[in-house]
Chain A
Amino acid sequence: MQITSHTFKANGVKALADVDLQRALGHVEKGFIEKRQMAVDALPEFDALRDRAVAIKTHVLKHLDLYLETYAKAVEAAGGTVHWAEDADHARRIVLDIARRRNAKTVTKGKTMISEEIGLNAFLEENGITPIETDLGEYIIQLRGEHPSHIIAPAVHVNRDQVEADFRRVHVDLAPDRDLTEPVLLLAEARQMLRQAYGKADIGITGANFLVAETGTSVIVTNEGNGDLTQLLGKCHVVLASIEKIVPTLEDLSQILRVLARSATGQEMSVYTTLSTGPRRSDDPDGPEEYHVVLLDNGRSNMLGTEFEEMLRCIRCGACMNHCPVYHAVGGHSYGWVYPGPMGAVLTPSLIGVDKAGHLPNASTFCGRCESVCPMKIPLPKLMRHWREKEFESHLQPRAQRWGLGVWAFFATRPRLYRLATSFVVPLLSRLAGSRRRFASLPLAEGWTQWRDLPAPEGRTFMQQWAETNGGEDLV
């Protein structure tokens, strides 16, 4: 997909002016937050479970090589095949090879962000293979030629009227005068279209929320059942997963599942939690003939052993973006690549380079709400700050910002000079404001005064006043 992270600022301005988008974002700001809070309040041991989940993933990341090997052996033992993909291009080629070998024309897809990361749909289409997204949200945005704007609610930016228009535009074989006024009717129509697709698909591709090392099992959690149909009805199941999805055991899986859905949608569990281990066995009633796992690195192993390793604990619940006031303002597409919100602010620079995605870790007030709700307790603001440090070291920040910071730091590190300068500048600024006591505009402060007044200093500095009123008493 086309990366637009470098135009984040302009993307944001456009998003802020988009009335439909702003209305849609209002739902994120309310629904997800309230539901998560209720789920958390109902489980007294929630915080202890978070600690347990953090411990599991921290342990895995310390021994990732070992667990990956264990997992791969278990997959092979169950009759599946593991493919190691170093980058996006490699992963795409692996999938295409499988598709070519099976002479595949149609591929159904459960929701997978790795597919977005490697740009799989466009690539398959270029090679004459039709991908059909089966998650309702993904289906909608595929019809619209868009990308997900949210990690678990990919079409959260789209409203009902838009979906109706899209369905009428694309489903031309259906009666033009059919009733689509209610969401449930839209849902029924999507289901009708997708049911046809499952049967004729040659391959079913899904993502994986977890990979269990001890059993070689891939796990998806869904609410629509489309994932199950995708992987069971196709003759060949391909799992796309990144290397950090590993958990050691089924017991560990069950621990982390308890924080995942609660953090994401506020459910105790997702409607479906589906475990897949290898292809159909001789005594299985159904299942795919072939089972493949494409394990994608794409820059993740470079994060191991660095300050960004903690980000690899992420289980993609989306709580960080659900609680992010910046995400609420500009929506997911503004972030310009696969992963929006605070998650993307740390992950995107790691995966595509901070030179392309420098805005993302900067566009945060460090309000800390993301970290406070992250089930994996990832210190997202701290990691965004690390990216700012890398930018500073490489002189990647805008010149005006560097200059401003330099002037400020010159005075702030010279206390006597700072006192002298403020004792002139502050009273002067105060007098300039006149009786109104605020500025509607001020040179060099347009960023502030464009949208709000700037309160004026009261008068002389506190230090000046204190020295006089107390004759310097207590001033040391």
Chain B
Amino acid sequence: MSEATLESRDGPRVGLFVTCLVDSFRPSVGFATVKLLKDAGCRVEIPRLQTCCGQPAYNSGDRADARTIAEQVIELFEGYDYVVAPSGSCAGMLKKHYPELFAGDAAWEPRADAFSAKVHELVGFLSDVLGVTQVGARVETRATYHDACSGLRELGIKAQPRRLLESIEGLTLVELKDAEVCCGFGGTFCVKYPDISNAMVGKKAKAVAATGADLLLAGDLGCLMNMDGKLKREGVAVEVRHVAEVLAGMTDTPPIGGRL
């Protein structure tokens, strides 16, 4: 621990984009993220006046509010060496969609592009940028992993979490059938089209139950809350956590949505 603290004095300066869901629903993920980043030698700072990445507005067709929020985020975070979020969806918004929002804007486009280059999803950042190949955690469990869509298809997060999870002592990783198929969350989709969303998350819950795993992991809190809510409603006794919690070895807290 002391070594990590020493290293972190001159490691890269990372601005942590907490994400609104982690801030409100699952602070444990925030603490786990800070621990993972510090253990890997980063200096972590957390701008207090962050709110959300703007995706609800952007995907509802409200470009003006999405832009206002994007400007806030860029102003808060553009000074860091890296910007890291424990979410493929929010990181995808910051990295892939901010440049689109400001395309053709002489003042903002270059800032959005420069900002975009610094943005990373947490597990991808640990693996691909910092070269972390193992974490020191020890967790006795049989876990399965769902590939949340944005992280997978916008950012290429697929092998990284599996590699790091396999480095955890005591953890057995079992593959989830159709792990790359959407869980049916989709932001506002899940409440705009609840019946279709339910059909999708129902299939996912069945696939999770079929693995026989004790623990379901993913890198996005929205998807995790959706899958957990369905598993609980169906009475499936699988604990649900964000992958960062397990990688940081922080599994003493109750899982998402409590226990059955």
Contact = CB atoms under 8 A, between A and B. Distances in A.
B175 interface: no
Given A388-B59, A413-B68, A437 B258 contact: yes
Looking at chain A's contact residues, the main secondary structure is helix
B77 to A, nearest CB: 11
Interface in A409-440: 409, 411-413, 415-416, 418-419, 422, 426, 435-438, 440
Interface in B222-241: 225-226, 228-230, 232-233
B194 A448 contact: yes
B28 to A, nearest CB: 6
A476 B48 contact: yes
Contact size range, B: 35 or more
Given A325-B184, A362-B192, A364-B186, A453 B229 contact: yes
Contact of A325 (B18, B200, B253): B200
Given A412-B69, A413-B72, A451 B197 contact: yes
Contact of A388 (B26, B47, B61, B201): B61
Contact of A411 (B18, B47, B51): B51
Looking at chain B's contact residues, the main secondary structure is helix
A388 B60 contact: yes
Interface string B164-191: 0000000000000000111011111111
Contacts of B47: 476
B190 to A, nearest CB: 7
B112 interface: no
Contacts of B190: 447-448
Interface in A369-405: 369, 371-372, 382, 385, 387-393, 397, 401, 405
Contact of B186 (A366, A397, A440, A467): A366
Interface string B236-249: 00000000000000
B206 to A, nearest CB: 13
A466 B190 CA distance: 30
Contacts of A456: 25, 257-258
A452 interface: yes
A368 B149 contact: yes
Nearest to A409: B65
Contact of B230 (A365, A452, A475): A452
A459 B30 CA distance: 13
Q: Top 5 closest A-B pairs, CB basis?
A: A365-B186, A437-B258, A447-B191, A392-B61, A452-B229
Interface of A: 9, 12-13, 16, 325-326, 329-330, 362-369, 371-372, 382, 385, 387-393, 397, 401, 405, 408-409, 411-413, 415-416, 418-419, 422, 426, 435-438, 440, 445, 447-448, 450-463, 465-467, 474-476
27 contacts: A9-B195, A16-B199, A330-B196, A366-B187, A369-B149, A369-B180, A392-B62, A401-B192, A408-B57, A412-B56, A412-B65, A415-B49, A415-B51, A415-B72, A419-B49, A426-B24, A426-B25, A438-B232, A438-B257, A445-B191, A448-B191, A451-B195, A453-B257, A458-B27, A462-B30, A466-B30, A476-B46
Interface of B: 18, 20, 22-28, 30-31, 34, 44-52, 54, 56-63, 65, 68-69, 72, 100, 149-150, 153-154, 180-182, 184-201, 225-226, 228-230, 232-233, 253-254, 256-259
